[in-house]
Amino acid sequence: MSAPIVNDYKKQFIFRRLLETYSGGLRIYFTSSVPLFVYFIQIAMFAFIPCSCGIFLHLVNRDIIKMVPAALANGCTTILYSLFIQILAFFLQKQKLPKDFEQVESFGDEESYEFDSVFGPKTWHFLIPPKKLLGCLFIHSLSNVLKSTFTFLGLVTTSVGIWPLIVGSPPEIAVFHQLPYDLQNFSRPCHMLTCIIINGISRRTSRIGIP
């Protein structure tokens, strides 16, 4: 009898990690029962990003506002939104925690995570992991202004790229330990910015007739 390459537990683990990777860090798949508000809060917070981009895209398509002001306004809106989320999470996480919480969080499994309430500190430690440096709160939010794209695929890509800046990057299986400065959160936005720069250069050179 041949042994399977991936057992049932690893299948669930891989599927959960793939969902987190392709959604930018949304944790919406659990093998155990979790409160419904865990799903609703994450989806509601994530939905703001494509909705905001879609509103400015609609304004550009209706010639109500130009593309550059729309991109800047969208970036500023995202900065304010991410700052609001980070500040809200910061104060909610400062609530009194049980003495054994840190030990449970460090050695426990994701599937045995305990949620307390909608605005409880345990819930928001799970939804918005605390930043290692308080300065990253502003830096991560400020970097959002660099993104702008105006297609359906661009909305999805932008949302997936911005979400790790607000919440945190999905866990990398091959990483031995996380960097102390949260630099991995800039990986996706930097890739997106590189593509935008290359696209902008190609459009500009084609307009002025450079082969």
Quickly tell me which residue has 């990003």 as its tokens.
49
pLDDT > 90 in the chain, percent:
0
Tallying the residues shown for the chain, one arrives at: 211
Which run of H or of E encompasses 59?
Answer: helix 36-61
Asked if residue 3 belongs to a domain, the reply is no
Q: Alpha-carbon distance 33 to 24, whole Å?
A: 22
Q: What is the pLDDT of residue 120?
A: 76
Which residue, among 107, 111, 159, has the nearest Cα to 15 in the 3D structure? 111
SS3 labels along 75-117? HHHHHHHHHHHHHHHHHHHCCCCCCCHHHHHHHCCHHHCCCCC
Q: Give 141-180 pLDDT, tens digit per residue.
A: 555 555 544 455 666 767 777 777 677 666 665 555 555 6
Asked if residue 107 belongs to a domain, the reply is yes
Asked if residue 1 belongs to a domain, the reply is no
Q: Alpha-carbon distance 64 to 79, whole Å?
A: 23
Provide the domain count of the chain.
1
Q: What is the mean pLDDT of the chain?
A: 71
- Residue 125: give the domain boundaries: 8-207
Asked if residue 79 belongs to a domain, the reply is yes
User: Model pTM?
Assistant: 0.56
Asked if residue 32 belongs to a domain, the reply is yes
pLDDT at 190 over 70: yes
Is residue 33 very low, low, confident or very high in pLDDT (cuts 50, 70, 90)?
confident
